[in-house]
Structure 1
Amino acid sequence: MYRNYLKILAIFSLLVLASCSNDETDNRSTDSRESRQALTTSQINAQIEKSLKSNGDFLWKSANDHFVWSALYHSDFIVSVGFGDSHNDLERSKSPKNATIQSDLLDLISHLEQADRKDFLIVSDPILNTMDVIIKKETTIAALRKAKYIRYVEPANYRFSQYQSVANRPKDLSTTSSGVDSGSGCGYDAVALATADYTSITPNAKVAWTLTQHNVPQAWTLSTGSGITIGIVDTGTSPSQTLLGSNFNDGLSSGRSIQKNGVYVDSVWPWVTTTDGVNDLCGHGTSMASAAAAPRNDNGLPVGVAYNSNLVTYRAAANVVLEGYQEQEGVKKAFTALGNNANVKIISMSMGHLFSVGKISDAIKFAYGKGKLIFCAAGTSTSATTFVGVIFPATMAETVAVTGVKEGSYVKCDDCHSGSKVEFTIAMQRSVSGNKVPVVSYYDNQTDYVGGSSVATATTAGMAALVWSRYPSWTRDQVLSRMRQSSYFFPNKNSQFGYGNINALLAVQ
């Protein structure tokens, strides 16, 4: 029955699109519709930016068929399709009709594109009700978007930033003391720490000034994160930093583990599936893992917030700007894997995109449905793009948005985003020197500074681990509630900074 419905729908769609008088977007025939010129990237970006400024987000489903097809024209015609029996029908194991729905949708595409499945099907996700396909005809896009069981049809490889001018291009979502690519959040170099930016603690570790601001050292008398596993979705961890490797148990850190995974495919071709490994080739992921859970070591290096928590790290992208097919595919895979990992309670991601991505949204909802507490960066970029406010996926109801503020005030850090979606803040920029947060460097026995909403997010994830370790029987909502109650503005919520800075000691008492 359903297969017949789709065939009828396909024929109906073609008849409608061939109409000379009733097409909702123009009055030309199907042939002329297929041949009309695609919008330019400047035109596409102007509409996206208008939506970001007015609504704080952009959704492909809000655009017309020609707009979506034009974006595909500029991005290799790669399409991400979300389907299901309802808006929330995300998971294949809970969706008995998913195989039939997908097969019929593929039949529809095959009919309209006049192509075999093997020529246009890139991947069918094994966990989520999503698939990626090649679609070249605007009429196919129009028919597919009208189909009953479609949740979204989105360009899967459109790079908004690539087509912006240099002056308006997003910088990144974090800042490092030095970087190999100032537009990506990456950096390898080591920087000696100013003595004013840390205090020493047994057995010979450095406590970053920001942890003192949030009463983390006092909280350690009650909880160090033991028994809690944090998942880090980022650029991986350095193979050259043994404190995040063979010496993860060092000093007063013991009995815990770090697991490294790689799901990022370094290729412009969507059909390539071989990853480039688990190692951080950027530096950003190493900094985030350090901020969350670096050991309380005896090497004179910075300690992480939850220094007895376990870590599961994912190399999900090359850098922090999630533009392009492989980056978004990698993040989707990381979240679904962490969602299925029963040991993981907390997920931290300090990467993002300026607007919503369907497949990433599906994966985050999947992980949230498994009880995970998910922290995401509100965004860090140049002043030219801070108009965006909180970025995706920190905009999602299933995530907790975090941003950075300057020491001793509620003024956002120089490049940090803020807005009504923010839940918590972390003091991560010094008021006088402007220095950021000390972390272990990409290389052994070296240190660095890292800033932005990125480090604020990883730091907050570490604090959540302290609370959950202290109260292991609590649910995600109870942990989050305690963190809110322990923050500066509670019981109120600031319009730009949420509940504000967290008092870690109060949170674990």
Structure 2
Amino acid sequence: MRHSTRNTTRKTLLAAATALALTAAAAPAFAGRAYPAGLGADGNRQFIVKYRKGSAPSRDAAAMASSLKAAAARAGVAGADGKPALRVLRQMAVPGMRVIVAPASLKRDAAASLMRQIAADPNVEFVQPDGGGKTQLVPNDPKFSQQWHYADNAVGIRAPSAWNLTSGAGVVVAVVDSGILSHPDLNANVLPGYDFISSASGRDATECAIDGLSAGCGKPQDGDGRDPDPTDNGPSGTGAHGTHVAGTIAAVTNNGVGVAGVAYGAKIVPVRAAGVDGYNAHSDSIDAIVWASGGHVAGVPDNPNPAEVINVSMGSTYACTPAWQAGIDAAVANGAIVVVAAGNGNNDVSENVPAGCNNVVAVAATDKNGAKSSFSAWGAKIDVAAPGGDGFFNQVLSTVANNGYGSLSGTSMASPHVAGVAALVRSVAPSKTPAQVEAILKSTARPISASKCSKGCGAGLVDAAAAVTAAAK
């Protein structure tokens, strides 16, 4: 506010301040915000609502029910067979956030109207769709005989030189992904995790159609909701994605078989948030990230091994939402550095969630020539890049299903390289904050020329050896 020396201005400001003080105790001064990004033409049923701290609905279930009932009535949304039009599905990890569900899927205009009416309650901070995302994957099944992406050369991350100083021992890395499969080249480095998929049946046909998927997207295939088993042994092998990501971070190394991991001395906490088709409900993923960092989630035992590094190789193509930002901020406040795949749409990363959020390390993908992968997101909010492959003979090799090894491309494959390097940094400098670790990753990265990335690949290609050396000083 700019102060004025004019008495009339002072009187006006004083009067306004007095009026505000008299009304503030009764209710918050401003209505909330509705964020429609992610709404589909149809299939909109689940929403995330954040109530203001200390408000009546945040403290009292009856007050919340009354607020939702009034909003539904104003929006013309009716319940079935006398049941409430809106109900609270569950409380989320971030204080004040709830998952709200309508009795049936709503078309875009109806859903937007409902969100506006929910936000009209001054006790509401924001409301957004509880949409979903897909794991950031460009699959290809040929195998490769070497991991070019780790090499001590211009296109690798220089892992061998970094291993002269550390293997990442003592650091815990959470992999928030599609779960994990048993693998002899990984099991020794895996700690207990959790399955955060809350729906046993996945989303319905109209909800899944928003993302171009079939009915049942996100189904966990284990027949139940949240449970302590992050393993996916479903027939579609959705856990292969998470297994590949985990192998890049911490596959068992120097054992004479298989592949190496970037931080092979670190331990993995697998946190399952994506099911069939790689679909993950945002509310599940946000809870998973907060839990992985050591935060509490109602109805779930606390994580006995809070992660110093969290890898998220999932996302959606729309801008960061307040619920995602709140979850990330909570994880960072708990001391975790959150590393995120930038996205595979060859678009500006600011259009992607969670990669476009603040307080994350957004990772673009590079190919075997050190150039931006054709599919990779780009832009001013990219922090660093890492090998993610591109093309038939240009993928990232890691652990996959059936005790095997496979090569995949995607920013999903780039992100765990950076998560692994972050773990190496943390192992030699455990007192570093997430912001300090990010600063080291960026200051030691090798710049990528404009001819190889014309629209922005952040500070450049992550350099494990340089990052560890800088952190050890």
Query: Which residue of 106, 124, 128 corresponds with 1:154?
Result: 128
Query: Which residue of 355, 374, 388 corresponds with 1:394?
Result: 355
The unaligned stretches of length 5 or more in structure 1 are: 11-58, 86-94, 162-170, 179-190, 199-207, 249-256
2:281 counterpart SS class = helix
Q: 1:327-338 maps to which residues of 2 (within 5 A)?
A: 327-338=281-292
| C-alpha deviation, 1:124, in angstroms | 2.7
Separation of aligned partners in 2, 1:497 and 1:318: 30
Separation of aligned partners in 2, 1:305 and 1:455: 12
1:301 aligns with 2:258: yes
> Quick one: which amino acid aligns to residue 222 of structure 1?
L
1:110 aligns with 2:69: yes
- How many residues are aligned here? 388
Q: 1:70-469 maps to which residues of 2 (within 5 A)?
A: 71=39, 74-85=42-53, 99-100=58-59, 103-113=62-72, 120-125=87-92, 127-135=94-102, 141-157=115-131, 173-178=136-141, 191-194=142-145, 198=146, 208-212=147-151, 213-239=156-182, 241-245=183-187, 247-248=188-189, 257-264=190-197, 265-268=199-202, 274-275=225-226, 277-280=229-232, 281-282=237-238, 283-318=240-275, 322=279, 327-340=281-294, 341=303, 343-355=306-318, 356-381=320-345, 386-390=346-350, 391-409=352-370, 411-429=371-389, 434-444=393-403, 446-469=404-427
Separation of aligned partners in 2, 1:141 and 1:177: 40
**Larger helix fraction of residues:** 1
Contact 2:348 2:378 in 1 (8 A): no
1:61-116 residue CA offsets vs partner (Å, 9 max, x unmatched): 378xxxx9xx588225433211214xxxxxxxxx5866337653421222454676
1:274 counterpart SS class = coil
Contact 1:128 1:363 in 2 (8 A): no
What residue in structure 2 maps to residue 479 of structure 1?
Answer: 437
Indicate how the Cα distance of structure 1 residues 461 and 298 shifts in structure 2: closer, same or farther if over 3 A, else same.
Answer: same
Contact 2:92 2:283 in 1 (8 A): no
> Quick one: which amino acid aligns to residue 201 of structure 2?
S
Contact 2:387 2:417 in 1 (8 A): no
Separation of aligned partners in 2, 1:102 and 1:152: 18
| C-alpha deviation, 1:405, in angstroms | 1.2
2:35 counterpart SS class = helix
> Quick one: which amino acid aligns to residue 138 of structure 2?
T
Identity %: 20
TM-score normalised per structure 1: 0.67
| C-alpha deviation, 1:120, in angstroms | 2.3
2:465 counterpart SS class = helix
Indicate how the Cα distance of structure 1 residues 497 and 387 shifts in structure 2: closer, same or farther if over 3 A, else same.
Answer: closer
> Quick one: which amino acid aligns to residue 52 of structure 2?
G
Separation of aligned partners in 1, 2:433 and 2:422: 12
| C-alpha deviation, 1:487, in angstroms | 0.9
What residue in structure 1 maps to residue 219 of structure 2?
Answer: none
Separation of aligned partners in 2, 1:499 and 1:319: 35
1:122 counterpart SS class = strand
1:497 counterpart SS class = coil
Indicate how the Cα distance of structure 1 residues 388 and 418 shifts in structure 2: closer, same or farther if over 3 A, else same.
Answer: closer
Contact 1:314 1:334 in 2 (8 A): yes
1:205-230 residue CA offsets vs partner (Å, 9 max, x unmatched): xxx11111221111101010001110
2:67 counterpart SS class = helix
Contact 2:325 2:358 in 1 (8 A): no
Separation of aligned partners in 2, 1:142 and 1:288: 39
1:436-459 residue CA offsets vs partner (Å, 9 max, x unmatched): 111122122x22112211111001
TM-score normalised per structure 2: 0.72
Contact 2:69 2:86 in 1 (8 A): no
Separation of aligned partners in 2, 1:475 and 1:429: 30
Separation of aligned partners in 2, 1:123 and 1:399: 26
Indicate how the Cα distance of structure 1 residues 155 and 473 shifts in structure 2: closer, same or farther if over 3 A, else same.
Answer: closer
Indicate how the Cα distance of structure 1 residues 317 and 172 shifts in structure 2: closer, same or farther if over 3 A, else same.
Answer: closer
